[in-house]
Chain A
């Protein structure tokens, strides 16, 4: 069956607001950010249009993180129970981390879980299940997962940084190379930065914050070098 052609009224990188008509025709993929009314397609959020192979996609400026299975997330422990921890994953839903999902051997009921993970600790975890009537479950079993004992964690204000960086590996590589830090950005809008020195970590954080507060443009590795030297100049670093 021949699908009818999609006619778009917007261009790549256009800013759209809720109610903006972006095109007419059939949409192949469902998106919560595009409202379909008959054949008309409307934007539902304030964001940027990305057009790839004639298909529109809207990247919202601000979003709420909704967990998805297999997502890598950085969580903060907010409560400790008898056999589980409650973890804030920057979402309306609080995640649960069961003892069985940690490298810990089954603990005796009376043993205090706080010795292993306490309130305020950061963990790098993976979502293992999320259903409508159940809160998300996370696991620490897996490569590189576990407590984040070193480095720093920051939270992004807008979703666009996560989007732009996650999709362009080169950008983050440039930052890592120049400063000698390792940066891990997770789907829930948080980043973990670990470097050789405090200074390198702080510079990386300042660069990321700067991107977070800057207007949306496509980032290139050379932009990163420029930002790094700018931050260094202001901070009086070498």
Chain B
């Protein structure tokens, strides 16, 4: 099976990518006019849309905090996002991902500016092909920036995996299910801080270090694309 995933003779992966090559990344900002901020992010076949509402009055009131805004994140996979229909009810996995994405974004958002309010972030996976949580966190941070919510830095993420004994960047669904390890990483690249780090499977100490380094380089590329998307939106607004 590992030969299918990674061909040592050519050094290429099952889809023809090199180990440190990302899938084509596309981003657009302000895709949903009803939301205060929104973004659509694509990593190859993975397609994620994020929408931000707020800061707004929090309901129920008892959930609010007197010194800062609360961040509510919902990561959700559309029933049509996978090959087999996914039940639209939030699964254990989706609840967990909502939590880790929220914690990653909380590090970036300057929530002290809006006490007693809530900032709602909705992340909807339209098409899943691996790396949805990192695409989700990338889209959510773009949507937050679009909504005008002050942030210490943008958050960008990518997953590193291990297939056929080789570390590979931005793994897709096939590599994720058949590979040996999967490590999603999200960072605030400008400040050089890691805000999300998970690991499924096993990596040696050296592999881990190399994996982080690969992710960091890729995240810097994504970061440039994020900034570009925001600037493009600004220019587009002028034409409207």
Q: How many residues of A contact B (CB 8 A)?
A: 30
A45-B152 CB under 8 A given contacts A20-B227, A37-B191: no
Residues of the A chain whose Cβ atoms lie less than 8 Å from the Cβ of B116: 92-93, 132-133
CB distance from A148 to the nearest CB of B (A): 24
Within 8 A of B (CB), among A157-192: 159
CB pair A64 B114 closer than 8 Å: yes
Count of A-B residue pairs with CB < 8 Å = 100
Confirm or deny: B57 has a beta carbon within 8 angstroms of a beta carbon on chain A.
yes
Q: Encode contact with B along A65-100: 1 for CB under 8 Å, 0 otherwise.
A: 010000000000000000000000000111000000
Give CA–CA (A62, B115) in the complex, Å: 19
Confirm or deny: B56 has a beta carbon within 8 angstroms of a beta carbon on chain A.
yes
A42-B152 CB under 8 A given contacts A15-B234, A35-B110, A66-B114: yes
Q: Which residues of B contact A (CB under 8 A)?
A: 36-37, 54-57, 66-67, 110, 113-117, 145-154, 188-191, 223, 226-227, 230-231, 233-235, 237-238, 240
- The contact of B150 among A44, A92, A215, A216, by CB within 8 Å, is A44
CB pair B153 A18 closer than 8 Å: yes
Name which of A18, A93, A94, A132 has the most chain B CB atoms within 10 A of its CB: A18
CB pair A18 B145 closer than 8 Å: yes
Give CA–CA (A37, B231) in the complex, Å: 24
| 19 new A-B contacts at CB < 8 Å, known A33-B150, A63-B148 | A17-B230, A18-B151, A18-B154, A19-B152, A19-B154, A19-B227, A35-B150, A35-B152, A35-B153, A37-B152, A44-B151, A44-B152, A45-B150, A62-B36, A62-B147, A66-B114, A93-B116, A133-B116, A214-B238
The A interface is mostly helix, strand or loop, or mixed, namely loop
CB distance from A169 to the nearest CB of B (A): 25
Give CA–CA (A132, B36) in the complex, Å: 24
Q: List 8 A-B contacts (CB under 8 A).
A: A17-B227, A19-B154, A20-B227, A32-B113, A44-B151, A46-B148, A93-B117, A132-B115
- The contact of A215 among B56, B149, B237, by CB within 8 Å, is B237
CB pair A64 B240 closer than 8 Å: no
Within 8 A of B (CB), among A1-55: 15, 17-21, 32-33, 35, 37, 42, 44-46
A46-B230 CB under 8 A given contacts A18-B151, A60-B148, A215-B238: yes
Residues of the B chain whose Cβ atoms lie less than 8 Å from the Cβ of A44: 110, 150-152
Residues of the B chain whose Cβ atoms lie less than 8 Å from the Cβ of A42: 152-153, 190-191
Name which of B55, B57, B151, B223 has the most chain A CB atoms within 10 A of its CB: B151
- The contact of A93 among B57, B66, B147, B190, by CB within 8 Å, is B57
Nearest first, the 7 closest Cβ-Cβ pairs linking A and B are A215-B238, A62-B148, A44-B150, A19-B190, A19-B153, A92-B117, A17-B230
Give CA–CA (A125, B229) in the complex, Å: 39
- The contact of B148 among A19, A64, A132, by CB within 8 Å, is A64
- The contact of A92 among B37, B56, B188, by CB within 8 Å, is B56
Give CA–CA (A93, B188) in the complex, Å: 30
Confirm or deny: A61 has a beta carbon within 8 angstroms of a beta carbon on chain B.
yes
CB pair B238 A15 closer than 8 Å: no
CB distance from A19 to the nearest CB of B (A): 4
Give CA–CA (A138, B188) in the complex, Å: 40
Give CA–CA (A165, B205) in the complex, Å: 58
Give CA–CA (A66, B56) in the complex, Å: 11
Cβ-closest chain B residue relative to A216: B238
Residues of the B chain whose Cβ atoms lie less than 8 Å from the Cβ of A45: 145, 148-151
CB distance from A40 to the nearest CB of B (A): 9
Residues of the A chain whose Cβ atoms lie less than 8 Å from the Cβ of B66: 132-133
CB distance from A226 to the nearest CB of B (A): 16
